[in-house]
Amino acid sequence: MNDTISAIATAAGPAAIGIVRISGPDAEAVLRRCFRPLPSELPSHKLLHGWVIDPSTNEPLDEGLAVFMRAPKSYTGEHGVELQVHGGSLNLRRIFEATLSAGARQAQAGEFSLRAFLNGRIDLVRAEAIAELIHAESDEALRVARAQLGGALSKPIEALRLRLLELLVMLEGQLDFGEEDELQDWDSGELARQLEVLQGQLALLLRNQENARWYLGGLRVAFLGPPNVGKSSLFNLLLGADRAIVTERAGTTRDVLEESLRIEEQRFLLSDTAGLATQTDDPVERIGIARSLSTAEQADVLVWLLDAAQLGEGSASLPPDFDAAARLLVVNKVDLLEDPSSARLEVLERELRSYLRGAWAEAPLSWLSARSGEGRQALEKNMLAAARALRAQAEFDMALFCNLRQVEAVRAAAAATARAVQGLAEAYYPLELLCSDVREAAEALGSIVGVIAVDEVLDGIFARFCIGK
Ligand code: GDP
């Protein structure tokens, strides 16, 4: 980090303005070699008008603005310079090369942020959030990144970690100075209580993660029903494409198809499944049915389809009794009904509900013709209402959303904390093991924000104590 780096900071292509960014101890010297005029005393955070010069030929390259940011008040925490010049790939390239001739080195990908991290300007969560912000393709992703840049995740993680470190300080104090290698009774009860609180908070973070899926990843919806009821037709209707094969032969859909659908703010992952025919001799169809069952078990929303033509005859098949967060009923092929008046539909619905069991009897119902598209909006409304109700139940804090690396670390911290709690409940659990559990939990959380050396922090905390205490 004792050299000075430079890079084009704006996207390639024609543009009104482009920025070349420089960071490092020699930023001022580099600027002086390639930008004129400059005052002898360089002000910080002030735009200066002038010309970018090629230092090897003294040729003026472009008119623009330069800003110098004196350390540590810059993104990287080092002296920084930004040259704001005309955009366009070639022009920016020439100006960037001028900064190299002036003594800077080409920066590597992410090197500015790496320096910001190493200089303690941002923690790892914020560094990751910056990358997320740059790559965000949805409003949700953008909101998460913004919140995390503001420390929404780092702060609670850091608070949990410091609590663990305080416990560790106490435990190690006992280990170093205590006579016993076991905790005193009054200590162990209090310690267990505090660890359980931490355990609860870690569990909350993990639960939040589970629920995040409903917001960011999409709610899983499985269409179920006997063969030929119109599952594939509905799938295609909602997606507006011939995604699934529709045929008059029962058992055509043999595998599980998955597609993503957006209705207003909610993303759904739709799976069209093979029918749940109970008896079939076709081994391929049987595998399809097994897959349908496992899809159904994983779904958040189960949609059970019935054939309108079979309703009045009492021969409609009953939905399976899986657990699901939400259920919807769809009666398809209303176009086949001789009398589709609302009075008749009401009678049919009442009849149907009378023999449905459990949560299915209460499930919202929509009438549909997958063939004509009639009733599609009502079904979408029911899907959206179900999603909103689920989201209202599921506590989820967008700002606490963790990426895969962070989740793994939270899991490791939760596992180590659980070990400590369990150990404390046992008749004999060596103090050293307790220390190592708590230390492991703290280190796991530390790795989220990027504190790798727990000992340094420990020293800091120890410094606030005195030996006699
Ligand atoms: P799946 O086996 O449940 O996936 O059913 P399909 O979507 O393959 O449909 C089976 C048959 O029912 C096909 O011949 C479809 O054209 C027909 N079908 C599907 N939806 C409707 C509908 O709303 N009205 C009528 N009349 N026929 C339909």
What are 317-364's pLDDT values in tens digits? 778 777 788 999 999 999 999 988 999 999 999 999 988 888 899 999
- Cα–ligand 1 centroid distance for 231 (angstroms): 7
289 lines ligand 1 (CB under 6 A): no
Structure tokens at 300: 């958040």
**pLDDT computed for residue 325 by the predictor:** 83
Q: What are phi and psi of 467, to 5 degrees?
A: -55, -35
Distance CA 113, CA 234 (A): 48
Q: Which candidate, 363, 300, 291, 297, places its Cα nearest to that of 331?
A: 363
Choose between 281 and 151: higher pLDDT. 151
Using a 6 Å cutoff on CB, does residue 308 contact ligand 1?
no
Cβ 243 under 6 angstroms from ligand 1? no
Instruction: Give pLDDT tens digits for 5-29.
Output: 999 999 888 889 999 999 999 999 9
Residue 179 pLDDT class (50, 70, 90 cuts): low
Mean pLDDT, residues 276-287 = 66
pLDDT class of 454 with cuts at 50, 70, 90: very low
For helices 154-177 and 431-449, angle between their N-to-C axes, nearest 10 degrees: 150
User: How high is the pLDDT of residue 254?
Assistant: 47
Average pLDDT score, the chain: 85
pLDDT recorded at residue 466: 32
pLDDT range class, residue 449, cuts 50, 70, 90: confident
- Ligand 1: atom nearest CA of 229 is 3
313 pLDDT tier (thresholds 50, 70, 90) = low
Q: How far is the CA of 287 from the centre of ligand 1 (A)?
A: 22
Q: What is the mean pLDDT of residues 388-403?
A: 80
Q: Of 93-102, 183-192, 348-357, give the range with the top mean pLDDT.
A: 93-102
Confidence label for 366 from pLDDT (cuts 50, 70 and 90): very high
Question: pTM score > 0.95 for this model?
Answer: no
* 413 within ligand 1 shell (Cβ under 6 A): no
Side-chain-side CA neighbours of 406 within 13 Å: the count stands at 24
What tokens does 416 get?
A: 């180590």
Ligand 1 lined by 227 (C-beta under 6 Å): yes
Q: In whole angstroms, give the CA distance from residue 308 to residue 13.
A: 58
pLDDT at position 411 is 95
Q: In residues, how long is the chain?
A: 469
pLDDT above 90: residue 58: yes
Q: Which residue has the higher pLDDT, 31 or 282?
A: 31
Q: Please report the pLDDT score of residue 462 as a whole number.
A: 37
Q: Check: CB of residue 219 under 8 Å from CB of residue 324.
A: no
For the residues 243-267, what does the mean pLDDT come to? Answer: 64
Segment (H or E) for 67: strand 60-69
d(CA 377, CA 239): 13
Nearest CA to ligand 1 atom 10: 228
- DSSP secondary structure string, 253-313? --S-EEEEEEETTEEEEEEE-----S----HHHHHHHHHHHHHHHH-SEEEEEEEHHHHTT
Rank 193-207, 241-255, 452-466 by mean pLDDT and report only the highest: 193-207
